[in-house]
Structure 1
Amino acid sequence: MGESSVKSQEGRTAAPASPIVDEAALEARRNDRLARLRSLRSPGRPRIWFEVTLIAVSYWLYSLVRNAVPEQKAAALANADRLWSVEKFLGIAVEQTVNHAMNSVTWLIVSMNYYYATLHFIVTIGVLVWLFRFHPGRYAAARLVLFATTGVALLGYYLFPLAPPRLMNGGHFIDTVLVHHTWGSMASGNFKNMSNQYAAMPSMHIGWSLWCGLTVFALASAPWARILGLLYPAVTLVVIVSTANHFWLDAVGGMACLTFGFAVSYAWYGALPHHLTKRVQAPRGRARPAGLSAGTPIRAGHPATEAPVRR
């Protein structure tokens, strides 16, 4: 009897896996993948070392790619002539008049030269720092807008080389940096060999300044700050035309790139930056101590029975 019992044990085969268990495992893996994707698409807390490195490397790559694009001088000059003809047809070809009028006021045009050379970077970095410090939940989405805007601009530089008005043949525009011997545009004077001079379309002075202005207008609480936010891209538009660095239509190109940037950010985060929460939310699905109601916030380092701290 004992022998038959042993044989029956040896003759047993492993029981087939339960289909319910398999489906549960597949569902768990699927949920884990979805959770990871949601985590990537949810604004996280920005880290200062990562952001500084990312911005520095990104701008270096942008400058490298932009300046590596073949200058194509003949094509750039021909495109400038065509664009100038289009603006004449539209009745908006007043850049030359603005350029000469502003150049007649020395202190004003010199100020514009320095404005063009410096604020493009100072204000943009300042707004990024402000977002990082006071709007961390919106920082990543706003930064993605800026990066996507700048990235698509590189296509414009490659596909449509364009000479600025000051380099047009017979355009009679004044290169205000050269005339007034001011430290200014990277595309004039001693810096002209460090930058692609035929990358005027689209204007990233407009793309970046409009990003700064709209961001400040949407998020700032002080009325004066919101007004300055709107004035900044408007003044920048006057400056790029007065210094003969861009046509009006270059500004339109910069606006189109910014629109693309907002579309990319919206597609990834599901909302425009100013519609996201100001602060970074706690991860979903976090375990809640027993006895704590759903509406009570969790505070690390405090027992679950501790009464909420009033602020």
Structure 2
Amino acid sequence: MIGDKCLSGRLCAYGKANVTPVQGRTATSPSDEERETGSSAAARLLAVGRAVPRPPGVRPPRRPRLWFEILLIAASYWLYSLVRNAVPTRRVQAFRNADWVWRTEHGLGIAVERVVNHAADSVTWLIIGMNYYYATLHFVVTVLVLVWLYRRQPGRYAPARLALFLTTGAALLGYYFFPLAPPRLMPGGRFVDTVVVHHTWGSMASGNLASMSNQYAAMPSIHIGWSLWCGLCLALLARPVWVRVAGLLYPLLTLTVIVSTANHFWLDAVGGALCLGLGTAVAYLWYGALPHRLPRHPSRAVPVAARAGARRGTSGTACAGAAGPAGATVAALRPPQPAARGAGRPAGRGNGRR
């Protein structure tokens, strides 16, 4: 590539230019060790530049700003709650859609939600724990993963956060265009509303808090969308093996909980996964790579733009300017050249000889 050839040519020209004749002798050039040090540093710089190739015009991630992220997350969750609860309550359509989903699952042979619901409800301590899980963990775990990404993976934070926000936006569209009653509200469905039966605190989907929440926003399941996002972030980006395993198990456990508490059908979980796929695809188009393919720190993506500029530039000394930060860094790596003997002295007759 033009940028690589130009960089190698400058390093070679540098080695040749350091042999300067002075009074029948030559000034010694930098040692081989110094030249190898400069070459290896330049090679590392090019390797960093090749790490994340992205097409022209694709936005590179930037280092997130804490105050902006806090305001953005708080405003987004407030807007999500407002829009979710402002969706028109279409009770008749919601129950009609629930019957259609239930019949479809029977046709597919996966309509086992009632069996799972009754089995979990028979173990009191288990179903109470699931009720609290459903009411709290989808929010708590998501916030914790966002904080972890912000602190430990700043170069991947913005693409991952964008995928999460787009997943939530897609879910809001589902609530509006496909109102769906959860299994626990189906008349004649013989499902157990576990929050009502066990008087569990925290869930806005049942009990005294039901009037504050849209009861027919079940498709898609945002619990599955968010838990899949958290699980993939941990499984792909975390280093400890146990954290990766926990990331893989988290969405599976969430799926068990939403079905055991009769808050969702299996197909609601499929809808949540599709929303995450849509959000991830848009984030990929915006940033040119999936979050786990981007550098851990945003500053490491800068040389890629410089290499793109070098391809459009010219050779020779103009390449240093076209290469941008890469050329400037290589120039900074160049050791100082020894001054020729007699340089800077006033010229006299016979170069100072009598």
Q: TM-score, normalising length from structure 1?
A: 0.80
Say yes or no: does 1:234 pair with 2:252: yes
Aligned residue in 1 for 2:122: 104
Q: 2:280 is matched with which residue?
A: 262
Question: How many residues are treated as equivalent by the alignment?
Answer: 261
Q: Which amino acid aligns with 1:203?
A: S
C-alpha spacing 1:273/1:197, structure 2 compared with 1 (3 Å): same
Query: What is the rounded CA distance, in whole Å, between the counterparts of 2:258 and 2:73 in structure 1?
Result: 24
| Structure 2: gaps spanning 5 or more residues | 1-54, 304-323, 338-354
User: Post-superposition shift, 1:291?
Assistant: 4.6
Q: 1:25 maps to which residue? A: none
Question: In the alignment, is residue 88 of structure 1 matched against residue 106 of structure 2?
Answer: yes
Query: 1:69, CA displacement in angstroms?
Result: 0.5
Answer with 229-238 or 188-197: which moved more: 188-197
Q: How far did 1:288 drift?
A: 3.2
Amino acid at match of 1:292: A
Greater relative contact order (CA < 8 Å, ≥ 6 in sequence): 2
Q: How does 1:82-161 map to 2 (within 5 A)?
A: 82-161=100-179
- Name the structure 1 match of 2:198: 180
Corresponding residue of 1:60:
78
Deviates more, 1:150-159 or 1:40-49: 40-49
The answer for the alignment partner of 2:264 in structure 1 is 246
Inter-partner Cα distance in structure 2 for 1:288 and 1:264: 34
Q: Could you list the runs of 4 or more consecutive aligned residues of structure 1 that deviate by over 2 angstroms after TM superposition?
A: 37-40, 282-291
Query: In the alignment, which residue of structure 2 is the partner of 1:288?
Result: 328
2:213 is the counterpart of 1:195: yes
* Residues 158-205 of structure 1 deviation map (CA, whole Å, 9 limit, x = unaligned): 110000000001111011001000113211112111110000000000
Letter in 2 for 1:238: T
Name the amino acid aligned to 1:104.
Answer: S
Identical aligned residues as a percent: 66
Letter paired with 1:201: M
1:268 shift after superposition: 0.3
Using the alignment, how far apart are the partners of 1:39 and 1:131 within structure 2? 25
Q: TM-score, normalised by structure 2?
A: 0.71
Paired position in structure 2 for 1:273: 291
Q: Alignment partner of 1:271: what SS?
A: coil
Rg larger in structure: 2
Partner SS, residue 281 of structure 1: helix
Paired AA for residue 94 in structure 1 = V
2:309 corresponds in structure 1 to: none
Match of 1:167 in 2: 185
